[in-house]
């Protein structure tokens, strides 16, 4: 019976700087990579208007591309939502969502935490022409915000009363 190979494997796993299984923590010298804004490849610029997403759910593909996969939408979320985990929640597939709607001159995608929509929800509003200056992200978490929501735009962030609008 050859046990040295098993011990060698354990040694290699611990020596490679993996997380400590007893605490779940990463090594102290790990620095996660910075989130970079998406840019389309040459010749791959979106030609489908954002208004074509109205009536579809955010994760539905329109002409092969989901709403949050669009460069202008992804860049807006990266710019206005500083928390990596929250960005993943907003664009993730685990959320409860409603069909995208037109709200004035903007396109709105609303979502919430499954089985907790009243207490944790968000709305991403993008200018129909894709201009990032016309976009905003609303986020509501009743546990940390009470009866208010955080509204972020490129001009800044403010708290407003109530939850995020559901289209």
Domain residue limits, the chain:
51-167
Checking if the pLDDT of 152 tops 90, the result is yes
Span 4-40, pLDDT tens digits:
554 444 444 445 555 554 455 556 677 766 665 556 5
Q: What does the pLDDT look like over 34-83, one tens digit per residue?
A: 665 556 566 666 678 999 999 999 999 998 889 999 988 999 999 999 99
Residue of higher predicted confidence among 151 and 18? 151
Regarding predicted confidence, which is higher, 119 or 34? Answer: 119
Fold of the CATH domain 51-167 = Inhibitor of vertebrate lysozyme, Ivy (3.40.1420)
Average pLDDT over residues 114-118: 93
Q: Rounded distance, CA 133 to CA 86, Å?
A: 21
- Apex 71 CA angle, 70 and 75, nearest 5: 120
| pLDDT tens track for 83-108 | 999 999 999 999 999 999 999 999 99
The string of DSSP codes covering the chain is ---HHHHHHHHHHHHTT--BTTTTBPPTT--PPPP----PPTT----S-GGGGTTS-TTSEETTEEGGGSHHHHHHHHHH---HHHHHHHHSSSSEE---EEETTEEEEEEE-TT-TTTEEEEEEEETT--GGG-EEEEEEHHHHSSEEEEEETTEEEEEES-----
Look at residue 33 in the predicted model and tell me its pLDDT. 66
Would you state the pLDDT for residue 7?
46
Residue 71: what pLDDT? 87
């Amino acid at each position: 019976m050859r046990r040295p190979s098993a011990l060698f494997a354990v040694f290699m796993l611990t020596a490679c700087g993996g997380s400590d299984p007893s605490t779940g923590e990463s090594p102290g010298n790990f620095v996660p990579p910075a989130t970079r804004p998406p840019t389309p490849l040459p010749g791959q610029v979106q030609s489908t208007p954002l208004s074509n997403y109205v009536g579809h759910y955010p994760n539905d593909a329109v002409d092969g591309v989901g709403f949050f996969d669009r460069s202008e939408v992804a860049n807006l979320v990266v710019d206005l939502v500083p928390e990596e985990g929250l960005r993943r929640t907003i664009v993730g597939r685990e959320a409860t969502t409603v069909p995208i709607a037109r709200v004035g001159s903007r396109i709105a995608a609303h979502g919430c935490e499954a089985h907790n929509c009243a207490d944790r929800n968000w709305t991403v509003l993008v200018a129909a022409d894709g201009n990032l200056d016309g976009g905003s992200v609303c986020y509501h978490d009743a546990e940390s915000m009470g009866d208010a929501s955080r509204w972020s735009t490129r001009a800044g962030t403010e708290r407003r009363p109530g939850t995020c609008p559901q289209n």
